[in-house]
Structure 1
Amino acid sequence: MTSLQVEQQDPDAGRPGGAVATEPGEGYHRALGARQIQMIAIGGAIGTGLFLGAGKAISKAGPSLILAYALAGLVIFFIMRALGELLMYRPVSGSFSEYAREFVGPFAGFVTGWTYWLFWVVTGITEVTAAAQYMTYWTGDSFPQWTYALIFTVVLYGANLISVKLFAEMEFWFSMVKVTAIVGMILICAGILTIGFSDAAATASVSNLWSDGGFFPKGLGGTLMTLQIVMFAFLAVELVGVTAGESKDPEKVLPKAINTVPWRIAIFYVGALIMILSVVPWSEFQPGVSPFVAAFEKMGLGIGAAIVNFVVLTAALSSCNSGMYSTGRMLRDLALNRQGPRVFTRLTKNGTPLLGTSFSASLMLVGVWINYVAPGKAFDYVVSFATISGMWAWIMILVSQIRYRARSDRGELPKSPFRAPGAPYSSWFALVFIALVIVLMGVDEDARISLYCAPLWGAALGVSYLVLGRRNAERVASGRR
């Protein structure tokens, strides 16, 4: 059995609002280097939302989807720079949960931490199940689908417990596969447009971006209705903030990683879509079919489907791997601030939160089992909650940064050396944009269910917070920790 260590905290030492003060390292091992942080940041912006979800979005908006990704990418940059300003003020593993606790209030930190934890548990459930489905592409019915889900979950769980460095190495190579696939697609498309090889050469032209019904073939409304799909594709880009407590040199590494957001979005989203939609007219893409697969088929490259299937498999495993990592850290941050079971504060000798990660992984296994026996529609309702819960973290990042900036400008707190450009106006703009996306989710019948789930989750957290507060008060009164 791996021995555990419990970080000692003074339960009476805290900031206003009752949040317990924690050191930036929080007992973690600073084992993440610049190379790994950069790839985690890049990989966080590339997922199944791009490889699969873009097909549905193209059918809804046509070439104007490029504009939707560019606009949403600008908002994501504002969010990440707001997070960067907070990280350089105080780099902690609890990240946006910790900042919400400090600048909005203990309850906001409680809601943010548990909601982000739930986001990754739900995401982990869906991604490991998706990865198992992708495996059947090669093996068919030779093995039951649940065996792949079990194998993937156990392997990723073990990797996260061995060391944070092993997690980072796995994420590095997962991200490398995704990046290589997109860059390769861009280069192939560029070759078709300039040299004219493959079966797609006859119809490939940049004019495909406006010749088939115009740049807005479904009107501005069609473009707006894709924003929720676009924002879902960007979920997890904030994961780099959770690595702050384990980065070797956060003051240098994290700003560099955050500043790469614009070119990441420009290349991997905007650039890839421009190339694909130039080679293949937008009207030939179908919902539920990866635009990358469709483009390879149009080019006459039969191996394309197998390549994309492998890439999407790695994207799913990458997401689940990130979920394993972040859930344990979020539970520990909550526990350190008396907003979760104290047992989750424990670390192994390797600096990993064993019990928090184990608890989350066990729920992911239960979710895989539920997905196996329950009707697909019921499972889809659970999945729909991921978008709204992920955007809650973004909202808290922006609100916390606005309040931090106001206090630092008044001289109440030290100014961050990595200040967000255009703030607080850029942060307010991002908040308004997110509010628009939430309204559009209410209009879309397929996404509306997530808005029904959010109040129920909020009510459950409210009751839990009151019960936890009463228990903490009783412990203080009795002299117990």
Structure 2
Amino acid sequence: MKRELRLIDLTFAIVSGIIGSSWLLASQVAANMAGPSAIISWVIGGVAICLLALTYAELGSMLPEPGGSVRYPQYSHGSLVSFVIGWGAWLSWVTTPPAEAEAITQYANTYVHHLYNTQTGLLTFRGLLMSAVLTAAFALINYYGVRLFARVNTALTFFKFIVPALTAVLLIAAGFHKGNFSHYGGFFPHGIQATLMAIGSCGIIFALQGFRQAIELSGEARNPQRDVARATVLGVAICVVIYIILQFAFIGALAPADIIKGWGGLSMSAPFAQLAVALNLGWLAILLRVDAWVSPSGTGLVFTATTARGIFAMAENGYLPKGLMKIHPRWKIPANAILFNLIIGLLCLAPFSSWSKLIGFISVTGVISYLLGPVAASVLRRTAPDLPRPIRIGGLSLIAPLAFIVAGLIVYWTGWPSTLYALGAVVAGLLIYFYYFFRGSFEVRHVRSGIWLMVYLVAIIFCSYIGDKSFGGKGLLKFPGDTLVVAALSIAAYYWGVLTGYETGDIKEVVDETAPSGAHALS
């Protein structure tokens, strides 16, 4: 593939991947569930993603290649763990462009009628058709090369960055009600459990999962060893700050009459645009309706690009047909992977016919795909100590387990039955893996090295089922005991995973081909 992406392109790929439909819709959805404490939800989600991003920054600068997050588990544990992570990532990524298309369509319903049914909360047939056209457009732009993708995405991201920041500042300046943070049930109107549940189920993690875009595109970066880590840290920091300020501005800008009946009664089809109108900022409302096209489109473009690289990496690992590795002779992109993902994305539109239906599923599968970053980074410190690390994260022995634990907790906090649907889909994907396994494609040691992850996922599903009723469970395991149990399971799983990692054949090849060089610490 062509190495044409600069630091600004990689950073903007992250910003564009994170600032999409969630900035337009998630502040209201999170406030519905958690009230003012939704600000805390964004802080916790941001800290979790930053911890994970640090581990991926080291991996991305050390092993820059297309679909990197799918390849790292292959280097540390072999094919079973790599398949589970890759499958979870793909489930999350392939449904994101359709979700962004649905967000555009839903917002468009305010001026192009009969796209969205406000009574059922679902898109109409006309709305689904429009979403399908948009999903296809994301794929078409990506098909004509990474340079066109980068130019279009970078231009869109300037707009996407400015509009949310401007919106937050203007809403705070034009009409801010301090009482919204203490009245109407207080800062935690629905309890701390609702604050935690909002992280995974209200679009927060759905938004922040875009942090890995630079890593997935690292194989096409001009200077990956220098730029991948910088873009990852910079992009995540920018977006987390913007989202926290947006949530703060949204809560403060609400008129008391909007929340007099409680936070759960908030119901605006275009939240920030309607607040702008109420505050006599009509020009801002127009700008927001334009951004309702731009922001989700940028995210749809980015995820269409990175999902294709993920499928490319899965085929390279040997558990999908090799035809998905085909590179277009002229445009130098994984053409078959883009077309394959387009077909699957279009098929997802009918059963998930609204933005809100998709985000819980995407969040859980996305977090599952993050889990191996901390584990792989720790394992490779042991099995490939001499591999050049342009970025060497200081305090990894503390950061890695903490990142793993927080990721596991977010999966649990998303709540039953979302955990069942998402984790069940990940486990069901093992049928594909064992099809190739019994054909002799993989080593038995790969299975032994991956048992820990299977046990952990099943344990999370079981804990979610018997967990606190506030998280949708049966109430056999009460809060905060349920959270402590999941944290303990996560600690055990992390160290089990680190112990079962080994010097795989794949990492031996990389070490043999790479001359050792110096590294510097990032602390």
Structure 2 counterpart of 1:220: 192
Structure 2 counterpart of 1:171: 153
Mapped contact 2:352–2:358 kept (Cα < 8 A): no
CA distance in 2, matches of 1:146, 1:69: 30
* SS in structure 2 of the partner of residue 167 of structure 1: helix
* SS in structure 1 of the partner of residue 217 of structure 2: helix
Structure 2 counterpart of 1:40: 13
**Aligned equivalent of 1:93, options 58, 66, 86:** 66
Q: Which amino acid aligns with 2:85?
A: T
Q: What is the CA-CA distance between 1:347 and the residue it aligns to? A: 0.6
CA distance in 1, matches of 2:28, 2:156: 22
Following superposition of structure 1 onto structure 2, how do residues 195-344 of structure 1 map, counting pairs within 5 Å? 200=175, 204-206=176-178, 208-210=180-182, 213-228=185-200, 229=202, 230-261=204-235, 263-280=237-254, 284=259, 286-287=266-267, 289-344=269-324
**Structure 1 residues 382 and 55 mapped into 2: Cα distance closer, same or farther (>3 Å)?**
closer
Do structure 1's residue 358 and structure 2's residue 332 form an aligned pair? no
Percent identical: 20
CA distance in 2, matches of 1:288, 1:396: 38
Residues 363-394 of structure 1: CA distance to partner in whole angstroms, max 9, x if unpaired?
A: 223334xx2xx6959x9766642121111121
Structure 2 counterpart of 1:396: 372
Q: Which moved more, 1:170-179 or 1:82-91?
A: 170-179
Residues 216-262 of structure 1: CA distance to partner in whole angstroms, max 9, x if unpaired?
A: 33332332221212222312221221010001111222222122146
**Structure 1 residues 391 and 293 mapped into 2: Cα distance closer, same or farther (>3 Å)?**
same
Do structure 1's residue 132 and structure 2's residue 100 form an aligned pair? no
Mapped contact 2:97–2:304 kept (Cα < 8 A): yes
Structure 1 counterpart of 2:501: none
Mapped contact 2:101–2:134 kept (Cα < 8 A): yes
Mapped contact 2:360–2:414 kept (Cα < 8 A): no
Structure 1 counterpart of 2:138: 156
> RMSD between aligned alpha carbons?
2.8
Q: Which amino acid aligns with 2:166?
A: G
How many residues matched? 424
Mapped contact 1:30–1:246 kept (Cα < 8 A): yes
**Aligned equivalent of 1:468, options 424, 428, 436:** 436
Q: What is the CA-CA distance between 1:91 and the residue it aligns to? A: 0.9
**Aligned equivalent of 2:34, options 54, 61, 77:** 61
Mapped contact 1:91–1:250 kept (Cα < 8 A): yes
Mapped contact 1:70–1:265 kept (Cα < 8 A): no
CA distance in 1, matches of 2:141, 2:199: 35
Following superposition of structure 1 onto structure 2, how do residues 110-149 of structure 1 map, counting pairs within 5 Å? 110-141=83-114, 144-149=126-131
Residues 310-329 of structure 1: CA distance to partner in whole angstroms, max 9, x if unpaired?
A: 32222322232123212221
**Structure 1 residues 146 and 264 mapped into 2: Cα distance closer, same or farther (>3 Å)?**
same
Q: Which amino acid aligns with 2:244?
A: V
Please, which runs of 5 or more residues in structure 2 have no aligned partner?
A: 116-124, 443-523
Mapped contact 1:57–1:287 kept (Cα < 8 A): no
Structure 1 counterpart of 2:121: none
CA distance in 2, matches of 1:55, 1:163: 37
Structure 2 counterpart of 1:432: 405
CA distance in 1, matches of 2:60, 2:441: 31
Q: Which amino acid aligns with 2:171?
A: C
**Structure 1 residues 266 and 375 mapped into 2: Cα distance closer, same or farther (>3 Å)?**
closer
TM-score (norm 1): 0.80
Do structure 1's residue 386 and structure 2's residue 359 form an aligned pair? no
CA distance in 2, matches of 1:225, 1:473: 40
**Structure 1 residues 59 and 140 mapped into 2: Cα distance closer, same or farther (>3 Å)?**
closer
